[in-house]
Every structure is written in structure tokens, then in C-alpha cells.
Amino acid sequence: MKIILGSSSAGRKLIMNELSKELGFTFEIMSPDIDEKSIRHDKPSDLVMAIANAKADALVSKINEPSILICSDQVVLYDNQIREKPIDENEAREFLQSFKNITIL
């Protein structure tokens, strides 16, 4: 059965590459090409599930053989705010700067 990673994320590809080496399977990548920013939810778990489902919905009609389709998303909840992938280098720096104030319990 074909395994498909429904993502264009370099990080997810790296994880799948490592898993495939360790477990001995092959996979292919399909980019869902959706507008993730148009999907909004206040609850982080609802947001990531909605985005992952939208990715799967965008790809399932393009798959014409029995397959396992893996789609996911992730966000960070910081100070009760959902933080998604930074939009640019400046926002990434702001995020990293704010994380230095985190207290680990």
C-alpha cells in the first residue's frame, strides 16, 4: 500500500525520511496547496485538526489507489495566543525573543 505525506513541510519530510529508514518503508510527498490562514479556530486543537482535514480533503481526490494519507499541522500556544508559522524573519525573531521569558516548571 502506498504511503503519502500530504505536506510540503521540510521538517515533516525529514521526520518521515528518518522513520522510513528505521522502519523500512517508502513514501511519496503530495503538497495540499491550501490557504491555511483562511482556516481559523480559537482552540488550538480545533485549528490543527481543521487544517489537517483541509489538507486531506484537497488531496484525496488526486489519489487513485489504496493509500495511507498522512496530513497534520502544528501550532504553538504561548501566553494564551496561537502562534503559527512565522510570516517572515522578523516575526520569527519576535517569537524567539519572547520565548526566552518562559519559566519551565
The C-alpha atoms of residue 60 and residue 78 are separated, in whole angstroms, by 33
The verdict on whether 73 is a catalytic residue reads yes
**CB-CB neighbours of 90 under 10 Å:** 9
- Which residue, among 34, 35, 44, 31, has the nearest Cα to 84 in the 3D structure? 44
Catalytic residue chosen out of the listed positions 33, 73, 79, 88: 73
Buried b (16+ CB within 10 A) or exposed e, 47-69: bbebbbebbbebbeeeeeeebeb
The C-alpha atoms of residue 56 and residue 71 are separated, in whole angstroms, by 6
Q: Which residues are catalytic?
A: 73
